[in-house]
């Protein structure tokens, strides 16, 4: 016999507590193992945290111990910098990774008062529901920047399933999320493998050193080894393999018909042009970890795509943000081909002289990122332009060597792309199931079958 759900007020089950106003003068981006102040920017807009790809701020000052968070604690976003309030109520669970995390202001901590009636795992998914976000938006204060409050969060009303059904719902959705996270962590490992290999070939010059010492380069066939010089020569950039040099990016691009282009300006693409369906537009917020982050990606109609076709992106293009974290970029993959480079971005088209993976990994080196960040202009926010980016120093390597690196990279990149595509399908499945499981429209056992087939 199916037990009916009953309507409850969230405040009957939990309480929401404000964070503490940590002082910005004690923030440090240098990682030394000190407590980390959780910020709104550390949240994934689909739920959860993304400490690995966002700015993390450690705290060097004193603070009340009651604002130290524990693994498993749930925080909710209570401020959104857009009038639509799209991220109000987005939850994140504190990870058990050995780091001490601190409860910052503008974030609400969820304290469960009735553990016998509400499951914390179920709560996490409830907070990700559209109904929860809409309820907070409807009662939010502010215009350009909107805010909610503990009392408004606690006023949310919903249909409460029995505790066993709550746990089953959380388990089904958690299984999908777990697979997404597994793919994400696998990709992080693969990306790090690519960075290590790139550094060995093009920063430490291990194959060249091996040949100079009369040794065969480790893990490299004879044909590939033959592409590398067998010694070094002096240059303004210190020791350099014979025949190789460092040149401005613009000079290398010009030889291969490459280019750097500014994305459409605000006068060409207005905020009112964006919609929920259509062709995606890569914006600065979508540039992260050398890949395009599709979370909350903007879209435009076919009419705008045709009008702005000169800003379409191709496989292998590199997209930079023109403002903010200007040292970060995204390499356009096969899934993003044909999308638009958006307002606030720069598009680098490598041309025939630069392999896209070689260029992307070179620009991702700490030295390259630091070079760009140091030369960005702007008093209040760093700004990047085509002239600055065009002067970025890039290693000029024979195309045959780049091609050999691309062949080694191909299976790594294929696995990364496959995992990203699988995560896209899993995300769509999760988004389909979430509202239907919460409302009871889809039964848990039916959802379990769908998840089993997908994972």
Q: Is 58 left (phi over 0), alpha (psi -120 to 50) or beta?
A: beta
Give the chain's length: 455
Distance CA 189, CA 183 (A): 10
Distance CA 213, CA 143 (A): 67
Tens digits of residue pLDDT in 157-199 = 999 999 999 999 999 999 999 999 999 999 999 999 999 999 9
| pLDDT, mean of each 10-residue run, the chain (455 residues) | 79 97 94 95 90 89 96 96 85 96 97 96 96 94 90 96 96 95 93 96 96 93 95 84 95 96 88 87 90 86 91 96 91 92 95 96 96 89 94 96 95 93 92 94 93 85
Q: Does domain 245-396 have CATH number 3.90.220.20?
A: yes
Q: What is the pLDDT of residue 249?
A: 97
Q: What is the pLDDT of residue 52?
A: 82
Residue 215 in tokens: 């040794």
Distance CA 335, CA 238 (A): 40
Going by C-alpha positions, the residue among 107, 80, 74, 105 that lies closest to residue 92 is 74
Distance CA 22, CA 373 (A): 27
Are 112 and 149 in contact, with CB atoms under 8 Å apart?
Answer: no
Q: What is the pLDDT of residue 1?
A: 43
Are 41 and 63 in contact, with CB atoms under 8 Å apart?
Answer: no
Going by C-alpha positions, the residue among 194, 195, 208 that lies closest to residue 397 is 208
Residue 87 in tokens: 């991220």
Are 210 and 217 in contact, with CB atoms under 8 Å apart?
Answer: yes
Fold match flag (6-160 vs 245-396): yes
Q: Where are the domains of the chain?
A: 6-160, 245-396
Return the CATH fold of 6-160: Adenine-n6-DNA-methyltransferase TaqI; Chain A, domain 2 (3.90.220)
- 399-408 — which CB contacts under 8 Å span 24+ positions? 399/352, 399/353, 399/355, 400/227, 401/201, 401/227, 401/228, 402/354, 402/355, 402/358, 403/355, 404/224, 404/227, 405/197, 405/198, 405/201, 405/202, 405/355, 405/357, 405/358, 406/355, 406/357, 406/358, 408/197
Residue 424 in tokens: 């896209």
Residue 61 in tokens: 């000052």
Residue listed under structure tokens 């380069």: 217
Q: For helices 163-202 and 356-363, give the axis angle rounded to 10 degrees.
A: 100
């Amino acid at each position: 016999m199916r037990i009916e759900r009953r309507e409850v007020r969230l405040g009957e089950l939990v309480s929401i507590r404000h964070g503490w106003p940590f002082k910005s003068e004690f923030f440090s981006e240098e990682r030394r193992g000190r407590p980390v102040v959780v910020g709104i920017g550390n949240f994934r807009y689909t739920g959860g945290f993304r400490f690995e790809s966002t700015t993390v701020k450690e705290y060097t000052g004193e603070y009340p111990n009651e604002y130290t968070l524990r693994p498993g604690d749930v925080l909710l976003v209570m401020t959104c910098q857009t009038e639509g309030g799209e991220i109000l109520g987005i939850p994140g669970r504190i990870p058990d990774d050995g780091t001490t995390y601190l409860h910052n202001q503008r974030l609400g901590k969820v304290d469960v008062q009735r553990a016998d009636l509400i499951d914390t795992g179920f709560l996490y998914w409830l907070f990700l529901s559209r109904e929860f976000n809409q309820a907070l938006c409807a009662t939010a204060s502010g215009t350009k920047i909107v805010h909610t409050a503990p009392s408004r969060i606690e006023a949310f009303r919903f249909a409460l399933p029995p505790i066993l059904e709550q746990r089953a719902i959380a388990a089904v959705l958690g299984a999908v999320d777990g697979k997404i996270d597994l793919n994400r962590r696998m990709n992080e490992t693969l990306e790090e493998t690519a960075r290590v290999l790139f550094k060995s070939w093009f920063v430490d010059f291990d194959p060249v050193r091996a040949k100079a010492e009369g040794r065969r380069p480790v893990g490299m066939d004879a044909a590939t080894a033959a592409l590398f010089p067998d010694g070094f020569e002096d240059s303004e950039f210190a020791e350099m393999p014979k025949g190789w040099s460092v040149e401005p990016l613009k000079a290398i691009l010009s030889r291969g018909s490459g280019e750097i282009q500014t994305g459409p300006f605000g006068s060409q693409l207005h905020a009112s042009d964006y919609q929920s369906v259509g062709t995606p537009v890569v914006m600065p917020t979508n540039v992260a970890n050398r890949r395009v982050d599709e979370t909350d990606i903007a879209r435009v109609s076919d009419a705008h795509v045709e009008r702005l076709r000169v800003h379409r992106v191709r496989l292998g293009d590199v997209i930079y943000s023109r403002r903010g974290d200007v040292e970060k970029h995204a390499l356009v993959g096969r899934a993003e081909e044909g999308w638009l480079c958006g307002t606030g971005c720069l598009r680098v088209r490598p041309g025939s002289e630069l392999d896209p993976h070689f260029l992307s990994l070179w620009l991702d080196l700490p030295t390259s990122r630091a070079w760009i960040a140091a030369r960005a202009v702007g008093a209040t926010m760093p700004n990047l332009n085509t002239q600055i980016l065009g002067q970025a120093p890039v290693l000029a390597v024979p195309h045959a060597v780049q091609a050999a690196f691309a062949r080694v990279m191909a299976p790594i990149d294929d696995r990364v792309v496959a995992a990203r595509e699988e995560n896209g399908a899993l995300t769509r499945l999760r988004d389909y199931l979430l509202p239907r499981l919460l409302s009871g429209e889809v039964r848990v056992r039916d959802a379990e079958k769908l998840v089993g087939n997908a994972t």
